[in-house]
Chains A and B, each alone.
Chain A
Amino acid sequence: MKHSFIDEYSDLDSLIHRLDPRVKLVTLVASLLFIISTRPTSFVTFVLYGILIFILIGLSKIPIGFIFKRSLVIIPFVLIIAIFIPFFKKGQVAGSYSFGSVHLTVTYEGLMVFWNVLVKAYLSILCMILLATSTKFSNLLKAFENMKCPKLMTMILSFMHRYIYVLVDEMMRMKRAKDSRTVGGKRWFHVKALSHMVGVLFIRAYERGERVYLAMCSRGFSGQIRTLQDFKLNKTDFCFLLTMAMLLIAIRTIRR
Chain B
Amino acid sequence: MHIPDGFLTVNAWVPAWLISIGGIGYCLRKATLTLKDRMIPLMGVMSAFVFAAQMLNFPIAGGTSGHLLGGVLAVVLLGPYARAIVITVVLIVQCFIFQDGGLTTLGANILNMSIVGAMGGYLIYNPIRSVLGGQKGIIVGIAIAAWASVVLASCACAVELAISGTSPLRVVLPVMVVSHMLIGIGEAIITSFIIGFILKVRPDLIYKI
Contact = CB atoms under 8 A, between A and B. Distances in A.
B190 A124 contact: no
A216 interface: yes
A221 interface: yes
B209 interface: no
A159 B24 CA distance: 18
Interface residues of B, number: 68
Contacts of A70: 99
A72 to B, nearest CB: 11
Interface of A: 6, 28-29, 32-33, 35-37, 70-71, 74, 77-78, 81-82, 84-85, 88-89, 113, 116-121, 123-125, 128-129, 131-132, 137, 140, 150, 152-153, 155-164, 166-168, 170-171, 175, 187, 190-192, 194-203, 205-206, 208-210, 212-213, 216, 221-223
Interface in B1-42: 1-7, 10, 24-25, 28, 32, 36-42
Interface of B: 1-7, 10, 24-25, 28, 32, 36-49, 51-53, 55-56, 58-59, 68, 73, 77, 85, 89-90, 92-93, 95-100, 102-104, 161, 165-168, 171-172, 175, 189-190, 193-195, 197-198, 201-202, 205
Given A88-B168, A125-B99, A191-B58, 20 more contacts: A32-B102, A70-B99, A77-B100, A81-B4, A82-B7, A88-B171, A117-B7, A124-B6, A128-B5, A137-B97, A155-B44, A160-B45, A167-B52, A168-B55, A171-B52, A200-B197, A202-B205, A203-B202, A205-B49, A206-B49
